A and B are shown apart, each in its own frame.
Chain A
Amino acid sequence: MIELEGIEKTYTQGEVVTRVLQDISFAIQPGQYVAIMGASGTGKSTLMNILGCLDKPTAGHYRLEGTDVVDLDDEGLSHVRNQKIGFVFQQFHLLQRTTALKNALLPLIYADHYPEEAEELAEQALGMVGLSDRIDYRPNQLSGGQQQRVAIARALINNPAILLADEPTGNLDSRSGVEVMAIFQRLHREGRTIITVTHDRQIAEHAQRVIVLADGQIAEDQTIDRPRDAEAELVALVPNEENNG
């Protein structure tokens, strides 16, 4: 369903040509939970932007559910992002002065058909991440972990083909980070395709498969036989006073 073939990305600045990605090829099956790992400067953000249809490769093919998105124009890419991809960012990227509910349903605003039951869908999505009692809260009234969970609800609302997370725990304390991982693992069990980009080995090991990038190339593509279990980690952590993290 996700197929990358000979992906290459170069940036040209004057005379200098920087090769950020070269000869990246891999496939991800539906329902897989994959982590893309690498130190900073290895091209993992660029790869994540290409996977998220935010950017186009210089060469190669990227087939997403049968469509080669390399052929699409800006509007076509916007449409693919809207319909097939759910983003979770390190900085949450919630609209300030806007309720959790409105934040969660934002992708529906840009859909071709705005569902009549948009608000119910947003409530359901917030319910899935345990925020049913926070739907009218604004980002500044929520903790970091809660904000990231609103972002996950937003990513889920259009029922995307891929949930794409870029350092989703990077701005969170360890407990909130593990909670987010627990949510990802639960979503994976429910059949979602999840791709996490991270530099953190521990976070990566919550996935079934880890693709390691080095110098813009795939250095390693390994299967994790026994991924870390976020639920178990949570139990092991000292219980926080009610979960405000």
Chain B
Amino acid sequence: MKILRTAQEGLSSLAANPLRTFLMMAGTVVGIAALTVIMAIGKGTESQVMRRVENFGPRAMMLVAGGGRTIGPPDSTVTTLTLDDVRAIREEVPGLEIVTPQAWLSGAGLRYEAQQIKATLWGIEPEWHEAWNWHTADGDGISHEDVATMARVCVIGSSVKRDLFGGADPIGQTLYVNKVAVQVQGVLERRGVMGASGGDFDNRILVPITTAMRRVMNVDHIGGVRIITSDADRMPEQAEQITQLMRARHRITPPVEDDFRINSPLAIAEVVRGTSGTLTMLLAALAGLSLLVGGVVLMNIQLISVAERTAEIGLRRAVGATRNDIFTQFLTESLSVTLLGMILGSALGSGISVAIRQLTSMPIVISWEPLALSLGFALLIGTFFGVQPARRAARLHPVAALR
């Protein structure tokens, strides 16, 4: 194939001029490397978002006491969220499958015989198990009767079991939560360490919400409400209804700040994406600039090269190269340079991504998609910036070129 032979001439020319080839390639290498890193971070972030949303529950919302922050534990100084609010939501907001209150106390003191540890205390209703899809591995969960009778019972997480009871069976044993005696009636499934904070989800103790509020914490407000909607599509609308309801009940009119907030998968995704957003923007700017500048440099070097190699072009025309042959040769040079630059850039970018993963906690996922995108960019730049010099080379008149 003649086209392959003329393309081969372009490749030979690149190989014969390594410095020129390197200069033509540099911008593409940097640009593609940055692009690869962006994609690795982006993909890593998205997979973390997916994990967090999955974790949170795709149909779940949390109404949390205290405004301001988007995620994190509730503000325990805010006392305005009550069980009456929960009742109001159940009655007035349609389309909700579960609305279950929960009270929080972090760092509650737990004691069993001589063992003492700190864990998070959760006051819950039976629906909590369903709402968090978190059931007991052994024994029973919290029941309606437990809530109604303010029963002195508890369900413990696997870490509490390990730290307080060692290898022994905790079911039926009595432990003390802030000096209140409760009997262990169940052990939760193990969840492990999760989230950006790396908190131990299994270091917790569940008691009936009434027991928590009256016997342990002695409060009449709650920390939050776990809400599961029956239709994820209606979530924004329902969140708005709940917001209006709470504002009305708490007598809040903007611009007064809300004393509650509603977390949803959307809000969580926003937070996770936000952390890598700035870096991604910077890298995107770098990638775009490098590719653009690299392309312009490539075009300039090629134009100079065409001027320098006028005699060569004239000779090739004299021995029978057509305009198309010359065009093919010079376009091959540009395209090969960007393709090689893309390969080197992808390797460099992957290397940097791996290094970032080793050195920081940033989520990084290396995949094949950046390769496809980079290939597209390389072809685009090679063509866009290579056509003009190639056309100029092809248009040279042989007589003028040989002079």
Distance between A138 CB and nearest chain B CB, rounded to angstroms: 10
Once A54-B399, A110-B2, A112-B2 are accepted as A-B contacts, the answer to whether A95 and B319 lie under 8 Å apart by CB is no
Mark A95-127 against chain B: 1 for CB-CB distance below 8 A, else 0: 111100010001101111010000000000000
Asked if residues B318 and A110 are in contact (CB atoms below 8 Å), the reply is no
In angstroms, Cα B323 to Cα A89, docked, is 21
**Residues of chain A lying within 8 A (CB to CB) of residue B324:** 75
Pick from A54, A93, A114: contact of B5, CB under 8 Å: A114
Determine whether A228 belongs to the interface, using a CB cutoff of 8 Å to chain B.
Answer: no
**Residues of chain B lying within 8 A (CB to CB) of residue A49:** 399
Mark A51-87 against chain B: 1 for CB-CB distance below 8 A, else 0: 0101100000000000000000011001101110001
Mark A132-169 against chain B: 1 for CB-CB distance below 8 A, else 0: 00000000000000000000001000100000000000
**Residues of chain A lying within 8 A (CB to CB) of residue B312:** 93, 95
Determine whether A91 belongs to the interface, using a CB cutoff of 8 Å to chain B.
Answer: yes
**Residues of chain B lying within 8 A (CB to CB) of residue A74:** 322-323
Determine whether B398 belongs to the interface, using a CB cutoff of 8 Å to chain A.
Answer: yes
Residue in chain B with minimal CB distance to A112: B2
Distance between A87 CB and nearest chain B CB, rounded to angstroms: 5
Distance between A173 CB and nearest chain B CB, rounded to angstroms: 22
Asked if residues B319 and A106 are in contact (CB atoms below 8 Å), the reply is yes
In angstroms, Cα B321 to Cα A107, docked, is 8
Restricting to B110-147, which residues have a CB under 8 Å from any CB of A? none
Mark B299-317 against chain A: 1 for CB-CB distance below 8 A, else 0: 0000000000001101111
**Residues of chain A lying within 8 A (CB to CB) of residue B318:** 52, 54, 81, 87, 93
**Residues of chain B lying within 8 A (CB to CB) of residue A110:** 2, 5-6, 316, 319-322, 325
Pick from B12, B17, B311, B321: contact of A91, CB under 8 Å: B311
Asked if residues A98 and B320 are in contact (CB atoms below 8 Å), the reply is no
Which residue, of A52, A54, A78, has the highest number of chain B Cβ atoms within 10 A?
A78
Distance between B40 CB and nearest chain A CB, rounded to angstroms: 39
In angstroms, Cα B125 to Cα A159, docked, is 98
Residue in chain B with minimal CB distance to A74: B323
Determine whether B259 belongs to the interface, using a CB cutoff of 8 Å to chain A.
Answer: no
Mark B57-101 against chain A: 1 for CB-CB distance below 8 A, else 0: 000000000000000000000000000000000000000000000
**Residues of chain A lying within 8 A (CB to CB) of residue B323:** 74-75, 78
**Residues of chain B lying within 8 A (CB to CB) of residue A97:** 16-17
Mark B160-198 against chain A: 1 for CB-CB distance below 8 A, else 0: 000000000000000000000000000000000000000
Asked if residues B399 and A55 are in contact (CB atoms below 8 Å), the reply is yes
Determine whether B46 belongs to the interface, using a CB cutoff of 8 Å to chain A.
Answer: no
Once A54-B402, A109-B5, A110-B6 are accepted as A-B contacts, the answer to whether A78 and B322 lie under 8 Å apart by CB is yes
In angstroms, Cα B317 to Cα A182, docked, is 28
- In this complex, the interface size class of chain A, counting residues with CB under 8 Å from chain B, is 20 to 34
Determine whether B9 belongs to the interface, using a CB cutoff of 8 Å to chain A.
Answer: yes
Pick from B311, B321, B398: contact of A54, CB under 8 Å: B398
Distance between B315 CB and nearest chain A CB, rounded to angstroms: 4
Residue in chain B with minimal CB distance to A55: B399
Pick from B315, B320, B402: contact of A79, CB under 8 Å: B320
Distance between B393 CB and nearest chain A CB, rounded to angstroms: 14
Mark B253-289 against chain A: 1 for CB-CB distance below 8 A, else 0: 0000000000000000000000000000000000000
Once A54-B318, A82-B320, A107-B320 are accepted as A-B contacts, the answer to whether A98 and B12 lie under 8 Å apart by CB is yes
Once A95-B312, A98-B16 are accepted as A-B contacts, the answer to whether A82 and B319 lie under 8 Å apart by CB is yes
Distance between B260 CB and nearest chain A CB, rounded to angstroms: 75
Asked if residues A78 and B317 are in contact (CB atoms below 8 Å), the reply is yes
Residue in chain B with minimal CB distance to A151: B315
In angstroms, Cα B1 to Cα A112, docked, is 8
Distance between A91 CB and nearest chain B CB, rounded to angstroms: 7
**Residues of chain A lying within 8 A (CB to CB) of residue B325:** 78, 110
In angstroms, Cα B318 to Cα A102, docked, is 16
In angstroms, Cα B311 to Cα A110, docked, is 17
**Residues of chain B lying within 8 A (CB to CB) of residue A87:** 318-319
In angstroms, Cα B324 to Cα A111, docked, is 13
Residue in chain A with minimal CB distance to B311: A93
Distance between A52 CB and nearest chain B CB, rounded to angstroms: 7
Asked if residues B2 and A114 are in contact (CB atoms below 8 Å), the reply is yes
Asked if residues B315 and A95 are in contact (CB atoms below 8 Å), the reply is yes
In angstroms, Cα B322 to Cα A49, docked, is 16
Residue in chain A with minimal CB distance to B16: A97
In angstroms, Cα B325 to Cα A106, docked, is 13
Mark B5-19 against chain A: 1 for CB-CB distance below 8 A, else 0: 110010010001100
In angstroms, Cα B320 to Cα A96, docked, is 19
**Residues of chain A lying within 8 A (CB to CB) of residue B2:** 109-112, 114
In angstroms, Cα B320 to Cα A83, docked, is 8
In angstroms, Cα B251 to Cα A245, docked, is 106
**Residues of chain B lying within 8 A (CB to CB) of residue A158:** 320
Which residue, of B16, B314, B322, has the highest number of chain A Cβ atoms within 10 A?
B322
In angstroms, Cα B2 to Cα A112, docked, is 7
Distance between A111 CB and nearest chain B CB, rounded to angstroms: 7
**Residues of chain B lying within 8 A (CB to CB) of residue A112:** 2
Which residue, of A82, A102, A112, has the highest number of chain B Cβ atoms within 10 A?
A82
Residue in chain A with minimal CB distance to B15: A97
In angstroms, Cα B323 to Cα A193, docked, is 28
Asked if residues A106 and B322 are in contact (CB atoms below 8 Å), the reply is no
Q: Can you list 7 residue pairs at the A/B interface with Cβ under 8 Å?
A: A54-B318, A78-B323, A81-B319, A93-B315, A109-B5, A110-B5, A110-B316
Q: A78-B320, A109-B321 are in contact. List 4 more A-B contacts (CB 8 A).
A: A52-B318, A55-B399, A79-B322, A109-B6
**Chain B interface residues (CB < 8 Å from chain A):** 2, 5-6, 9, 12, 16-17, 311-312, 314-325, 397-399, 402
